[in-house]
């Protein structure tokens, strides 16, 4: 058989039909306003008809002259850019369009040449080899153009749409420091939240006007069987961009061992960063990355989800590794708030994670994050239980100076004041322990008449913790040798607990009955203090002979001396005692004054003949002023009393 033989028309009539068709195709190709797809079809048809004509001409000795001429023309268009390192798409849309048309022409020639039977036709093989080499050169150039385009137009700015996390939320207790005071507790209680709809944070990772150019490169490369090369270039640039954004969020690539060895202060900071990063990475970058992949690769089937997964994989594994390290580590009480933040963040995001990685290839991502959510839930429960144990087991060797509010009380009440914002989560996670704890809490709020707020699992757990705190405080009060100071200590701490409940979002979870009961408790300690301290002092002024009108001078002198000695002893001791709350301190001073000053004034009034005698060391006004020095927490003597400083 002839080496140029192929499926060609055999009769003159057929040849005329081919020639006419070729003429019509060329005429249609000059028509304006043709769509890109239709123009490409006409170009392909023109090339195929040319090859049929060339194959016919081969029998006449002309060979593949026209094919070679066409190949030379597109070769010039493609090779000229190899010597000019200016990027094609930077030169303008016409240059880019001409280059893509040249590549399409090469691909059409290759397809047509392969569609002909070669049968040892060396010219045909030579042209096919030249065209294939030219196509490879063009694909390499398009890969460079793609990388340049993605790098040049990638978004550089750091997102500011999601609220930033609070800088510090560390709560650590020791005997000298309570790191979360009222103000910082208020500031820290402003929890970080992002919208339930992550979609509202989607950004253009590549400007919208660049997307058609990237898609045009994708179509040509996939049509030329260079889809893998396109994906590798696309994944490489986008993966690097995502990791740069991850680095901007100041996330260290920590191993599980690194996390487990970290000191709490550093670990707390990293946990905070993780919570923030999860929101930013998933709500902003991965949502935006998925949209970019859909825009560029949406028409290429599973290639789209494959590229997205490859882009996200490294960053996701970093986030997973840290979360898993936290979940498997020891769960100390101070971790509780950070763990709750981590759990709630992941719980809010898990639906979006499932949607982002819904394809089979992303099943491991979905599975691992669901496992992490379960691990964090267990960690929250463990840390909550550890908190309760820490409250009940906290011991002291020495009494707290001055009988003021103990650091443990501040730590516990400030800590639990932040729990209401986690109410839904804690109710969910503590549900399985609810019945056990409710049976231990004596307040009726957990009974059948309780409201929803006071009977929920979190509320019963909170009252259980404060009950443990009360028991511990009673133990600590026994460290004071002075019974009166025991009552001052318990009065201060119970009053502090009540005020923290009344003045915060804890109130609905404790209920008014709890507040009334604990108001009565600290008021009882107030009365016990007055009884223990002042009853014996006032008793010294009691008239031993009620029937007589006044005491003898010696008896009067003896009682005045006894009262002065006893009063001065109380003054000496109790000026160093502390009642931090101004209103409580004032109330107790007034109550004490009513009892002591009234008794002293009555005593002097019954013995007017001796009032001017030198045996009266303190006037009624002196006693009133001296009582104002009590409970300031600063030891005073009569020499530096308020009375002496004002005289």
For the chain, give the number of residues: 647
Q: State the DSSP string of 89-134.
A: HHH-HHHHHHHHHHHHHHHHHHHHHHHS--TT-HHHHHHHHHHHHH
Is residue 304 very low, low, confident or very high in pLDDT (cuts 50, 70, 90)? very high
Q: Is the pLDDT of residue 507 over 50?
A: yes
3-state helix, strand, coil in the chain (%, to 5): 75, 0, 25
Is residue 187 very low, low, confident or very high in pLDDT (cuts 50, 70, 90)? Answer: very low
d(CA 102, CA 392): 81
pLDDT recorded at residue 635? 82
Q: Measure the CA–CA gap between 197 and 221, rounded to whole angstroms.
A: 36
Using CA atoms, how far apart are residues 28 and 19, in angstroms rounded to an integer?
Answer: 14
User: 367: buried, middle or exposed (CB in 10 Å: 19+, 13-18, 0-12)?
Assistant: exposed
Radius of gyration (C-alpha) of the chain in whole angstroms: 44
Tell the burial category of 487 from Cβ atoms under 10 Å away from its Cβ (0-12, 13-18, 19+). Answer: buried
* Rounded mean pLDDT, 511-534: 95
User: At residue 444, does pLDDT exceed 60?
Assistant: no
Handedness of CA 165, 171, 177, 182 (dihedral sign): positive
Determine the Cα–Cα distance for residues 603 and 616; give it in Å rounded to an integer. Answer: 12
Residue 29: pLDDT band by 50, 70, 90 thresholds?
low
Average pLDDT, the chain: 83
Inter-axis angle of helices 287-297 and 336-356, to 10 degrees? 10
Look at residue 125 and tell me whether its pLDDT is greater than 80. Answer: yes
Residue predicted with more confidence, 436 or 272: 272
Q: How would residue 636 be classed by pLDDT, with cut points 50, 70 and 90?
A: confident
What residues contact residue 565 under an 8 Å CB cut-off, 6+ apart?
none
In this predicted structure, the answer to whether residue 167 has a pLDDT above a threshold of 50 is: no
Q: What is the pLDDT of residue 368?
A: 96
Please compute the mean of the pLDDT values over residues 189-207 and round it to a whole number.
65
Q: How far is CA 542 from CA 527, 546, 595, 612, in A?
A: 20, 9, 13, 20
Contacts of 318 (CB under 8 A, 6+ apart): 246, 251, 253
Residue from 501, 500, 492, 499 nearest 473 by CA: 492
84 or 228: which leads in pLDDT: 228
How far separated are the first and last CA of the chain, in Å rounded? 136
Closest CA to 551 of 615, 633, 473: 615
Q: Is 178 left (phi over 0), alpha (psi -120 to 50) or beta?
A: beta
Of 357, 251, 249, 373, the C-alpha closest to 312 is: 357
- Per-residue model confidence as pLDDT tens digits over 368-391: 999 999 999 999 999 999 999 999
- How far is it, in rounded angstroms, from Cα 291 to Cα 582? 60
Whether pTM exceeds 0.85: no
The whole-number pLDDT of residue 252 equals 75
347 has pLDDT over 90: yes
Contact 463, 445 (CB under 8 A): yes
Distance of CA 462 to the CA centre of its chain: 24
What pLDDT is attached to residue 91?
92
Which pLDDT band, with edges at 50, 70 and 90, does 585 fall under?
Answer: very high
pLDDT higher than threshold 80 for residue 133? yes
Where is pLDDT greater, at 456 or 162?
A: 456
CA distances from 263 to 169, 170, 266 (A): 15, 12, 6
Looking at residue 157, what is its pLDDT?
58
pLDDT at 135 over 90: yes
Answer yes or no: are the C-beta atoms of 235 and 307 closer than 8 Å.
yes
pLDDT at 143: 96
* Backbone conformation region of residue 250, classed left if phi is above 0, alpha if psi is from -120 to 50, else beta: left
pLDDT for 189 = 42
Of residues 129 and 453, which shows the higher confidence score? 129
Q: Which residue has the higher pLDDT, 168 or 364?
A: 364
> For residue 431, is pLDDT > 80?
yes
Question: What is the per-residue pLDDT for 59?
Answer: 46
The yes-or-no verdict on residue 556 having pLDDT over 50 is: yes
Residue 641 pLDDT greater than 70, yes or no = no
């Amino acid at each position: 058989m002839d080496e140029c033989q192929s499926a060609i028309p055999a009769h003159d009539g057929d040849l005329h039909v081919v020639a006419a068709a070729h003429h019509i195709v060329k005429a249609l190709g000059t028509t304006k306003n043709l769509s890109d797809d239709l123009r490409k079809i006409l170009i392909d048809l023109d090339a195929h008809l040319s090859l049929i004509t060339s194959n016919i001409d081969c029998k006449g000795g002309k060979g593949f002259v026209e094919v070679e001429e066409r190949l030379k023309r597109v070769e010039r268009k493609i090779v000229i850019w190899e010597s000019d390192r200016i990027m094609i798409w930077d030169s303008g849309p016409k240059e880019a369009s001409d280059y893509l048309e040249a590549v399409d022409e090469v691909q059409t020639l290759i397809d047509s040449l392969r569609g002909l039977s070669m049968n040892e036709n060396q010219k045909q093989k030579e042209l096919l080899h030249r065209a294939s080499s030219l196509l490879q050169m063009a694909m390499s150039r398009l890969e460079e153009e793609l990388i340049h385009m993605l790098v040049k137009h990638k978004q550089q700015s750091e997102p500011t749409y999601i609220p930033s996390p609070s800088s510090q939320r560390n709560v650590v207790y020791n005997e000298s420091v309570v790191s979360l005071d009222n103000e910082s507790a208020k500031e820290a209680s402003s929890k970080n939240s992002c919208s339930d709809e992550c979609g509202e944070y989607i950004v253009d990772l590549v400007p919208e006007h660049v997307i058609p150019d990237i898609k045009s490169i994708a179509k040509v490369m996939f049509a030329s069987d260079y889809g893998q090369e396109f994906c590798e270039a696309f994944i490489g640039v986008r993966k690097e961009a995502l990791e740069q954004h991850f680095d901007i969020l100041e996330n260290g690539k920590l191993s599980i061992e690194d996390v487990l060895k970290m000191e709490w202060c550093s670990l707390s900071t990293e946990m905070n960063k993780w919570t923030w990063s999860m929101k930013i990475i998933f709500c902003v970058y991965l949502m935006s990355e998925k949209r970019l992949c859909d825009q560029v690769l949406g028409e290429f089937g599973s290639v789209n989800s494959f590229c997205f997964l490859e882009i996200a994989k490294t960053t996701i594994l970093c986030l997973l590794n840290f979360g898993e390290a936290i979940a498997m580590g020891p769960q100390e009480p101070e971790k509780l708030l950070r763990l709750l933040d981590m759990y709630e963040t992941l719980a809010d995001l898990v639906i979006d994670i499932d949607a982002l990685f819904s394809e089979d290839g992303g099943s491991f991502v979905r599975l691992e994050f669901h496992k992490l959510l379960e691990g964090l839930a267990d960690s929250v429960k463990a840390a909550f239980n550890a908190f309760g144990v820490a409250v009940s087991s906290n011991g002291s060797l020495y009494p707290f100076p001055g009988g003021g509010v103990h650091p443990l009380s501040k730590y516990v009440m400030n800590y639990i004041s932040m729990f209401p914002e986690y109410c839904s989560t804690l109710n969910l996670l503590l549900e399985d322990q609810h019945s056990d704890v409710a049976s231990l809490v004596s307040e009726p709020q957990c009974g059948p008449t309780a409201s929803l707020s006071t009977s929920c699992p979190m509320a019963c757990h909170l009252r259980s913790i404060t009950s443990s705190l009360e028991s511990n405080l009673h133990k600590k009060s026994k460290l004071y040798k002075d019974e009166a100071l025991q009552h001052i200590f318990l009065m201060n701490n119970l009053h502090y607990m009540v005020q923290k409940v009344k003045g915060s979002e804890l109130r609905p979870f404790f209920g008014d009955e709890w507040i009334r009961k604990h108001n009565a408790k600290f008021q009882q300690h107030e009365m016990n203090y007055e009884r223990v301290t002042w009853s014996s002092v006032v008793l010294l002024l009691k008239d031993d002979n009620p029937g007589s009108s006044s005491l003898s001078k010696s008896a009067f002198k003896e009682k005045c001396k006894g009262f002065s000695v006893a009063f001065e002893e109380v003054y000496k001791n109790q000026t160093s005692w502390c009642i931090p709350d101004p209103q409580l301190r004032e109330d107790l001073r007034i109550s004490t004054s009513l009892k002591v000053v009234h008794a002293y004034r009555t005593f002097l009034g019954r013995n007017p003949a001796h009032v001017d005698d030198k045996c009266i060391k303190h006037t009624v006004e002196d006693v009133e002023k001296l009582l104002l020095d009590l409970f300031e927490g600063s030891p005073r003597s009569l020499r530096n009393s308020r009375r002496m400083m004002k005289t």
